[in-house]
Chains A and B, each alone.
Chain A
Amino acid sequence: MEDKRIELKKIIMDTRTLPTLPGVINKLNALSENDKASVQEMAKIVASDQVLSARILRLANSPSYGFYRVSTISNAMILLGVNVVKSLALSSSIFAIMEKNSIGLWEHSLGVGVAANLLARKLGLPECEEIATAALLHDIGKVIISLKCVEAEQEILRLVRERQIYIREAEREVIDTDHAEIGGWLSKSWYLPEKLSEPIACHHDVASSQNHRIKTSVVHVADVLVKASGFGNSGDRYVPEIQQVAWNTLKLDQGIMADLVDTLEDKLVEVRNFSLEMMAE
């Protein structure tokens, strides 16, 4: 069994056919960690990719952000903040990868991104944008499974339908790993920072998260919320259990959750529009 898993990891991680992130994203990541980098320098990098620039301007001008007429990348960066532009760049690249596979999964991911952002802000956590990005990417492993293991995916879907189990249980049975673990492998091969890769890898098992348990908990709870709301299509029909350890880590209570559900449901209407906007391109 162990052999099979290593074999599979090899197949999945075969870099020649793995989706890649545009070089711009890596440069942007590198530059934004450098304190001396100016907004103009970063804007220049983004501007060198015309498709990406067009997308960012389009999104920056979208009503979801409520600003009026942003016409240059550096203005977008100043108005929205470098981190927002970075996650816009990342999310539009992820969208390009996911779109071909499944709109339902894309909507689910986008929904979880929004839910995680709302929750993180409500709790006053630092690095909300990073948490939202991790949430956006949390199911990237599912994309890889459907790209790399077409037969296994059919088998997984069949098991989920016939035995009415969670997709993760079916994955464990068929390929002896799951989308969370695969997402973790992929984010390592993309050299994403640990604060992103750990929440992706542990979002179904918060207890296994060592260094970024708060972020992981937010992604976990956001995932449950969006599944409960029935928004998008993650492939799972049933809401997973909220893990007690995540609940305790974030010190959640009923009042916080009720408020969050209200704001989230409001936002999800906008998310649907946003998703339609991306597809209209």
Chain B
Amino acid sequence: MQKIPLMLAKAGMVLARDVFRGDSPTGMPVCGKDTQLTDALITRLDQMDVQSVYVEGHPVWEEGQRSFDELLGELDLRFEKCRENPLNAMLYDIYKAHLTKSMGGEGGRQTD
């Protein structure tokens, strides 16, 4: 699952979470998850002020974006000095799980 700006959404991508109107993020969803995007749908969402959507997998690679292994390496480095502390070790595990999930792994949250 990946959060992308609507600008980068393309027909064929599949929504991973319900989409809400830009001006009422807590109101009724305007488009359900698992919907396959079409050009017409993307235009409609744009008119509704939707800024970003969650899509399945990890379809958009921006230039300079780091891979999972690189991100994990950086996480390891950041925690290098404090892994001995049990609280920090717990936080490390939480972040590692989060990273795995957000880079397209299974088991992500499906709805908000």
Contacts and interface: CB of A to CB of B under 8 A. Distances in A.
A241 B87 contact: yes
A269 interface: yes
Contacts of A247: 87
Interface in A213-232: 224-225, 227-230
A47 B23 CA distance: 25
Contacts of A265: 98, 102
Contacts of B51: 63
Contacts of B22: 63, 66
A239 B23 contact: no
A30 interface: no
A257 B89 CA distance: 12
A244 interface: yes
Nearest to A254: B90
B3 A266 contact: yes
Contact of B82 (A63, A239, A258, A261): A239
Interface string B28-72: 000000000000000000000101100000000000000000000
A190 interface: no
A262 B77 contact: no
Interface in A33-73: 63, 66-68
A247 B88 CA distance: 11
A241 B88 contact: yes
A237 interface: yes
Nearest to A69: B23
A242 interface: yes
Contacts of B109: 262
A267 to B, nearest CB: 11
A69 B80 CA distance: 47
A247 to B, nearest CB: 6
B24 interface: yes
Contact of A239 (B49, B79, B98, B102): B79
B25 interface: yes
Contacts of B74: 230
B17 to A, nearest CB: 10
A227 B90 CA distance: 15
A257 B98 contact: no
A228 B98 contact: no
Contacts of A261: 91, 94-95, 98
A240 interface: yes
Contacts of B52: 269
B88 A227 contact: no
B87 A238 contact: no
A262 B90 CA distance: 15
Contact of A241 (B23, B75, B85, B94): B85
Lowest 7 A-B CB distances belong to which pairs?
A242-B87, A238-B81, A68-B23, A241-B85, A66-B25, A241-B82, A258-B94
Interface of A: 63, 66-68, 166, 224-225, 227-230, 237-242, 244, 247, 254, 257-258, 261-262, 265-266, 269
15 contacts: A66-B22, A66-B23, A66-B25, A66-B26, A224-B88, A229-B95, A238-B78, A239-B79, A239-B91, A241-B85, A257-B91, A257-B94, A258-B98, A261-B98, A266-B3
Given A166-B81, A239-B79, A265-B98, 13 more contacts: A63-B22, A66-B23, A66-B25, A227-B78, A228-B75, A229-B95, A230-B75, A239-B82, A239-B88, A242-B88, A247-B87, A261-B94, A262-B109
